Chains A and B, each alone.
Chain A
Amino acid sequence: MQIPAPFDYVRATSVDNALELLARYGPESRVVAGGHSLLPMMKLRLSRPEWLIDINDLYELDFILRDGNKLRVGALTRHTTLLESDEVAALFPIVRDAELVIADPVVRNRGTIGGSLCQADPAEDLSTVCDVLAAEAVIRGPRGERILSMSEFHRGPYETAVGQDELLCELRFGIRPRTGSAYEKVERRVGDWAVGAAGAAVTLAADGTVDDAAVGLTALGLDHLVADAAAVLRGRRPDEELFAQAGRLAAAACDPVADQRGPVDYKRHLADELTQRVLRRACARAAQMQEG
């Protein structure tokens, strides 16, 4: 039987209250939202917080809101809510693509976007999605609010810029015209971590050439965007040859490790193939948006 080590439990009533509790209980306290990463770690005693601060009552952080040319998503928004949002799917189809393959439907009822990002597992899908969409992270703490880019937010595996006394409150996604996005993952079975996954966002210019592009990989040993992808794609007309070129770039840029999910050459092949697929789909969606 897996049971966490003893801890004290407190339920936060507001963001301000959560920040007070984090300040009061210090480094031995942890915030829990969906709990589907933290509780398994606590059961294995890999994590032993003395205080667990439950933020599930902070409904103020559970929202999807269009605000001018930005979509604001509260950190406590559940995976299921993101998956089922038609507004999110229309603006950022990559989110629905990814949410469909994150864990399983029952886990998605509990897990949150903020929890996924703060867990910062290298095989976590929404980190790549947020990278590709150039999202901004809104963090609140005792010194007020700060807004970070994704490259500032990520610090490596299981580490982010969110301080011990801070709370990730919101993600902001810029809405751009003529932009399409897509995500695809290969997994051994439903709910397993990715063998490999890729995400892409493409903005087309009025003449149909690529204006801007981003390609990201999950679980393939690359903790940032595929650097040269945008440079290679920009100004070019999307076609199979271009997708193949970007695929080769992604395969060269990634640095996967061999494990029970597959050898290195197979994972490199995935980086190549999945990059081509998501670029193909992102471009088609961008063109559709252009016509629409």
Chain B
Amino acid sequence: MQISMTVNGNDVTSEIEPRVLLVHYIREVLGLTGTHWGCDTSNCGTCVVLMDGQPVKSCTVLAAMAAGHDIRTVEGLATGGTLDPVQQGFMEEHGLQCGFCTPGMMLTARALLDKNPHPDDTEIRQAISGQICRCTGYATIVRSVQWAAAHPAGHGLDDAPATDYSAGTGLDGTDTAVPDVATETAETGTEVKA
């Protein structure tokens, strides 16, 4: 069957089997692999995308059911080369470790902030309660969303220049370059490669 929808502002049309799930359509047909495919049973929430602005678990929505709707994936968070404040928050507050849950977490956070620009910690925890971070980094995820709530324009014009992580210089001018771990731990005799 033929389906059409909007994905990250682009109109897409494809010929698919009716049984194709939205997560596989996004990843395999559209090639947008930022949406992760996890438990397949609508438990883990890593496959969350926004459908008409609302978070949905794309492993439990047929691509056919999404036809005619507006889909936003993690690739659609940044606009014009500028990261969404939620993405900046996850960088500032170390909101990810392995990163597997991150796309879903960020999209749910975006939807929450669109609806409630100043959520308290409980509201954030409730919003992400259907999503699992197996690194158990929930505290930093909550802080990341709070960072985004406190910086609705991200690193805006009135703010200090956005962090350029490649240059190794932080917002406050301190050195954020990755330390030479092997050297620093040499005294303890532990061999660690950075």
Question: CB within 8 Å of B: which residues of A?
Answer: 1-9, 11, 32, 35-36, 39-40, 43, 52, 54, 56, 80, 103-107, 109-110, 190-191
The 0/1 profile, CB within 8 Å of A marked 1, for residues 136-167 of chain B is 00000000000000000000000000000000
| Residue B19, interface by CB 8 Å | yes
CB-based contact A4/B45 at 8 Å: no
| Residue B177, interface by CB 8 Å | no
Which residue in chain B gives the minimum CB-CB distance to A54?
Answer: B65
Which residue in chain A gives the minimum CB-CB distance to B112?
Answer: A105
A interface majority secondary structure:
loop
CB-based contact A107/B126 at 8 Å: no
Which residue in chain A gives the minimum CB-CB distance to B57?
Answer: A106
Other 7 A-B pairs with CB < 8 A, given A1-B40, A7-B19: A3-B21, A9-B62, A9-B64, A11-B64, A35-B60, A106-B108, A190-B130
Question: CB within 8 Å of A: which residues of B?
Answer: 1, 17-19, 21, 24, 40-43, 45, 48, 54-57, 60-62, 64-65, 108, 126-127, 129-131
Query: Which 8 pairs, one residue from A and one from B, show the smallest C-beta to C-beta distance?
Result: A104-B130, A9-B18, A190-B129, A106-B130, A4-B19, A109-B54, A106-B55, A2-B40
| A7 with B61, Cβ < 8 A, contacts A40-B41, A105-B126, A190-B130 known | no
Minimal beta-carbon separation of B58 from chain A (angstroms): 10
CB-based contact B40/A5 at 8 Å: no
Chain A residues near B126 (CB, 8 Å)?
105
CB-based contact B56/A109 at 8 Å: yes
Chain B residues near A40 (CB, 8 Å)?
41-42, 60
A104–B48 CA distance with the chains assembled, in angstroms: 12
A104–B60 CA distance with the chains assembled, in angstroms: 14
CB-based contact B65/A106 at 8 Å: no
Chain B residues near A52 (CB, 8 Å)?
18, 62
CB-based contact A32/B19 at 8 Å: no
Chain A residues near B41 (CB, 8 Å)?
2, 40, 43
A54–B62 CA distance with the chains assembled, in angstroms: 10
A191–B43 CA distance with the chains assembled, in angstroms: 7
Contact pick for B65, options A2, A56, A107, CB 8 Å:
A56
CB-based contact B57/A107 at 8 Å: yes
Minimal beta-carbon separation of B55 from chain A (angstroms): 5
Chain A residues near B57 (CB, 8 Å)?
36, 106-107, 110
Minimal beta-carbon separation of B17 from chain A (angstroms): 7
Chain B residues near A2 (CB, 8 Å)?
40-41
| A5 with B130, Cβ < 8 A, contacts A35-B62, A54-B65, A109-B54 known | no
A52–B65 CA distance with the chains assembled, in angstroms: 11
- Interchain residue pairs with CB less than 8 A apart (14): A9-B18, A9-B62, A11-B64, A52-B18, A54-B65, A105-B55, A106-B56, A106-B130, A107-B130, A109-B56, A110-B57, A110-B60, A190-B129, A190-B130
